[in-house]
Structures are given as structure tokens and as C-alpha cells.
């Protein structure tokens, strides 16, 4: 990998993140609950001031209705670490109860810095290491590809605009991908277990990891199978035990954490999200049905959507099949699973970004649609301008980098151009047309249906590619959207 090109790519990605962070964030100036920015700050307040066995329990000092902690223990530990630093700088930022809704410029800079540092320490090196192992790519192209992965607009806008720490869980998952594809299976299992213990939504990636490691174990001599699978199982269990130690002394504590992680009672979806259940709710009101029945329906539908890709991966555990399965599995979960948030599309955006060297048009198209699907949320946050600039920057850089490949796919370029025209038309309508009073959520719903259709198309395309690959395919192949091999420049 070209050292100077890598440094330049990392600097550009960091500068873009820093520019986005200068703008607004989720819940700014919107009491009493504010938004995700306040949620992350509040978790620092809770973890610094209360003992671990009270972090997930309702107590007089921990009102779970006010951004109660609902992510796994590793998120809580990260919040505690950030809170400790915040207390050293200015104790008022995490003062118990008194710090709610704080919006000072100094605190904003601190929070933005924590997001950037976590991104640079976890996600950046994983992206560069992934590209370092790419085959049939020049050192310069590897560095630029890593930069484009880092410039994926969705992650940049959510973590550094809206404000979250998705780069930590996605970065840990990417470390798992790198380790597993380089045959460091135990390290990969540890990394992905840590990702799961940071955000439970990493379950979107769980089946491909499981079937990839199982398929690789089955491909070895039969007498090695128990040793390989047993070793992986031991490191996974050990990782979970280490992460959960403070909550295992009491059954009540452990069950309360699980209850907070999987809030079934909140319904199949909350906000307008670009998945199947929100789209069909226009004519079929799922909220009127028994929640337990809807939960079963969503579980069965999700399994039907994701198992074919995973079983294909089991029988042909190649590196490229692994990335394709990660993409189709996370999209299947996004489209059909229970309690999906619009930001969960980032879980599909990661493997789709990793497909950039292999299927550049498909990857670029997806990143734009994923960013577009979150526009209603980003607009509410006051980062619409950042959304436009970052998305356009990614498209310009990516198409310039891969233009020699893209121009050979004229038919697919025409389809993508129609899709882009549709997105631009919706933006124009949203900016010029006032929705009727009886339909205040008209545009968010149109956004959801439009993007849901696209995501369903992406699932079909991914399955078509995966099931069309020859059994000898590997991640070193560079192919078009249709799955035919193509020499890249």
C-alpha cells in the first residue's frame, strides 16, 4: 500500500468528518428529550455516577424513560471511559441529573472529538488493513479505495452529524472480517463478539460470520472439525463472559440487560423506516395486530430472506461470498426484522462499501441510496447541507476513481441514472411542495417506500451475483454488477 496515498486518504476522511461535525446534531435545541447526542452524553453521566449494577435498572437516579441505556455492556464501558475524561475536563458535563440537556460549545467540541477519536482508532485502521490484502490492485489504488470506504456518506453523516459511535461496532466487525478472511479465525471471532457486545444490531452480520467459519472448518480434514469449531466456541464464550462479568453476579441484572437490549413491546417499527413493514403499513396496519404475531411474522420473514445466502456461503466459503453474504444478510434483516431504525442501514452499507473494488457501480449506487434513505432524519437534525455535500463528494471521487470500469456498463449506468433522477425529483418536490395538513408525514413515507423498493432490488442483485459465482471464486476477482469478470484498470 502506498504510504503517502494512505496518509492523504486518511487526512481527507478525517477533515470531512471534522467539517460535518461543525454543524448541528440530533436534538439540538429541542427539549425536553433532545436527541441521540443527549442520549450518548447521558450514558456517560449514568455510568460515571452509578455502580454498574444500576446502569440498566430503573432507580431514582436512573430514569429509563429519559434515554435509558439500551445497548450492550461494551457501549456502557465506552460511555464510562468518555465520562471519566469529561469529568476531568469539566465535571458539569456529567453531573448527575444537573447536566441534562447541556448544549455548551465546549461540550459539543468534546463530544465531537470522542466520535472522531473512536473512528480513527477503530474503523480507520480496519479499512486500510482490509484494502491492504486486496489482490490484483496497485498500492495506490488500495489506498484510494480505503479512502473511499472511509468516505461512505452514511456513516460520516450519522456519526459526525447526527451523532453516534457506529464506527466502533462497524470497525470491530470489519476487524473480524479482515481476521477471518486471512485465516486468523479465533481473532476474527473475538473481534465480532466485541462488535456484538457493543451494539446488538450486529446480529445482522452474525449468520454470515457463523456460516463462513463453519464452512471453512468443514473444508478441513474431518478430524480437525471438533478442534476448530470448539476453539472458536471457547473464545466467543470467553469474550462474552469478560464483557458481561459485572452483570452475571445476579440473574436479575443479566435478565434486565437483555430486556433493555430487545424491547419487543415497542412494536415492529417506530419512525418511518425504509423497510417492508413500514411500506406495507400504508394499506395493512400492522400496529393493529397482536405484537407477538407480528414478531413471529418478522422472524420467519427475516430467516427466509437471509438463509439462502448463508447456506450458499456454507457450501462455498470464499472471501467474496463472505462479503456478499454479509451485505445480503444485513439487508434482509433491515427489510424484515423487528424494531428497525433508519440508521440500521449502516450495517448493510459497510459490506456494500467493501464490495467497491469488485462491483463499483453497485457499491456506489447503494451508498447513495442509503444516504438518501436517511435524509428525513438528517433534515430534522439540521444537517441537510452536509448531507448534500458529503454525498456529492463521494459520488464524484468514486466515479472518477472507477470511471474506466463504469463506462463499460452502459446499460447498468442507465438504470442507475434513472434511480438518481428519481432521488433528485423527490428532493425537488420536497423543497417546493407543501404536503396537505392531513398527511404531514407524506414525504417521509414516500422516501421510505422509494428506498424500500431499491433495497429489495439490491437483495435480489446480491443473491443473483452470489449464486452465479463459480465455486473457485475468490475475493481477488473483479466483476461487474452482473457477475461477469472484468479487468479493472
- Stretch 119-136: mean pLDDT, rounded? 96
* 89 domain residue, yes or no: no
Q: Flag whether 142 is in a domain.
A: yes
Could you tell me what percent of the chain has a pLDDT over 70? Answer: 95
Number of domains in the chain: 1
Within 10 angstroms of residue 39's Cβ, the number of other Cβ atoms is 21
Domain that holds residue 288: 3-28+103-468
- What confidence tens digit (pLDDT) does each residue in 245-274 have? 999 999 999 999 999 998 766 666 667 789
Determine the length of the chain. 489
CB 170 within 8 A of CB 370: no
What is the pLDDT confidence band of residue 480, given thresholds at 50, 70 and 90? very low
Quote the distance between the C-alpha of residue 263 and its chain's center: 20
Which residue in the block uniquely carries the three cell numbers 424513560?
65
Closest CA to 75 of 12, 167, 137, 140: 167
**Within a domain: 73:** no
Question: What's the CA gap between 432 and 215, in Å, rounded?
Answer: 53
In a domain, 97, yes or no: no
Q: What is the pLDDT of residues 62-87, one digit of tens each?
A: 999 999 999 999 999 999 999 999 99
C-alpha cell at 303: 430467516
Is the separation of the CB atoms in 313 and 215 below 8 Å?
yes
Predicted local confidence at residue 267, as pLDDT: 64
SS3 (DSSP) at 487 = coil
What digits encode the pLDDT tens for the residues 377-425?
A: 999 999 999 999 999 999 999 999 999 889 888 889 999 999 999 999 9
What is the mean pLDDT of the segment spanning 217-237?
A: 88
At 487, the pLDDT band (50, 70, 90 cuts) reads very low
Is 81 within a domain?
no
Q: What is the pLDDT of residues 151-160, one digit of tens each?
A: 999 999 999 9
Across the strands, what pairs with 59? 62
User: In terms of Cα–Cα distance, which of 1, 91, 83 is closest to 46?
Assistant: 83
Q: Look at residue 160 and tell me if it is in a domain.
A: yes
98 part of a folded domain: no
Amino acid at each position: 500500500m502506498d504510504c503517502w496515498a494512505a496518509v492523504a486518504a486518511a487526512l481527507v476522511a478525517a477533515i470531512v468528518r471534522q467539517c460535518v461535525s461543525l454543524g448541528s446534531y440530533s436534538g439540538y435545541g429541542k427539549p425536553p428529550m433532545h436527541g441521540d447526542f443527549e442520549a450518548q452524553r447521558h450514558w456517560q453521566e449514568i455510568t460515571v455516577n452509578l455502580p454498574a449494577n444500576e446502569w440498566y435498572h430503573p432507580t431514582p437516579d436512573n430514569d429509563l424513560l429519559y434515554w435509558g441505556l439500551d445497548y450492550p455492556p461494551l457501549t456502557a464501558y465506552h460511555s464510562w471511559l468518555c465520562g471519566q475524561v469529561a469529568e476531568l475536563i469539566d465535571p458539569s458535563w456529567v453531573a448527575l441529573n444537573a447536566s441534562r440537556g447541556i448544549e455548551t460549545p465546549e461540550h459539543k467540541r468534546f463530544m465531537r472529538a470522542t466520535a472522531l477519536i473512536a473512528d480513527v482508532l477503530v474503523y480507520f485502521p480496519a479499512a486500510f488493513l482490509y484494502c491492504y490484502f486486496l489482490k490484483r490492485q496497485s498500492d495506490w489504488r488500495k489506498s484510494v479505495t480505503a479512502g473511499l470506504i472511509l468516505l461512505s456518506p452514511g456513516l460520516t453523516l450519522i456519526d459526525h452529524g447526527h451523532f453516534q459511535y457506529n464506527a466502533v461496532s462497524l470497525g470491530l466487525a470489519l476487524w473480524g472480517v479482515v481476521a477471518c478472511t486471512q485465516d486468523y479465525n479465533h481473532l476474527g471471532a473475538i473481534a465480532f463478539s466485541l462488535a456484538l457486545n457493543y451494539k446488538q444490531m450486529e446480529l445482522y452480520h452474525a449468520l454470515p460470520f457463523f456460516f463462513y467459519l463453519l464452512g471453512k472448518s468443514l473444508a478441513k480434514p474431518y478430524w480437525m472439525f471438533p478442534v476448530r469449531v470448539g476453539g472458536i466456541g471457547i473464545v466467543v464464550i470467553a469474550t462474552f463472559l469478560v464483557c458481561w462479568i459485572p452483570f452475571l453476579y445476579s440473574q436479575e441484572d443479566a435478565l434486565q440487560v437483555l430486556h433493555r437490549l430487545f424491547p419487543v413491546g415497542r412494536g415492529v417499527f417506530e419512525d418511518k423506516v425504509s423497510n417492508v413493514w413500514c411500506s406495507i403499513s400504508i394499506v395493512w396496519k400492522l400496529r393493529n395486530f397482536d405484537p407477538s404475531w407480528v414478531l413471529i411474522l418478522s422472524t420467519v420473514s427475516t430467516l427466509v430472506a437471509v438463509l439462502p445466502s448463508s447456506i450458499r456461503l456454507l457450501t462455498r466459503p470464499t472471501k467474496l461470498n463472505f462479503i456478499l453474504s454479509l451485505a445480503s444478510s444485513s439487508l434482509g434483516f433491515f427489510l424484515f426484522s423487528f424494531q428497525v431504525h433508519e440508521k440500521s442501514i449502516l450495517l448493510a452499507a459497510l459490506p456494500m462499501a467493501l464490495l467497491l473494488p469488485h462491483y463499483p457501480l453497485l457499491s456506489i449506487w447503494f451508498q447513495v441510496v442509503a444516504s438518501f434513505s436517511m435524509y428525513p432524519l438528517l433534515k430534522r437534525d439540521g444537517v441537510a447541507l452536509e448531507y448534500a455535500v458529503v454525498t456529492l463528494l463521494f459520488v464524484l471521487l468514486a466515479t472518477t476513481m472507477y470511471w474506466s470500469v463504469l463506462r463499460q456498463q452502459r446499460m447498468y449506468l442507465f438504470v442507475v441514472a434513472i434511480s438518481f433522477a428519481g432521488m433528485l425529483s423527490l428532493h425537488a418536490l420536497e423543497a417546493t411542495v407543501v404536503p396537505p395538513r392531513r398527511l404531514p408525514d407524506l414525504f417521509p413515507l414516500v422516501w421510505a417506500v422509494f428506498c424500500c423498493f431499491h433495497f429489495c432490488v439490491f437483495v435480489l442483485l446480491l443473491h443473483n451475483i452470489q449464486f452465479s459465482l463459480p465455486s473457485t471464486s475468490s475475493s481477488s476477482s473483479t466483476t461487474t454488477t452482473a457477475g461477469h469478470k472484468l479487468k479493472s484498470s
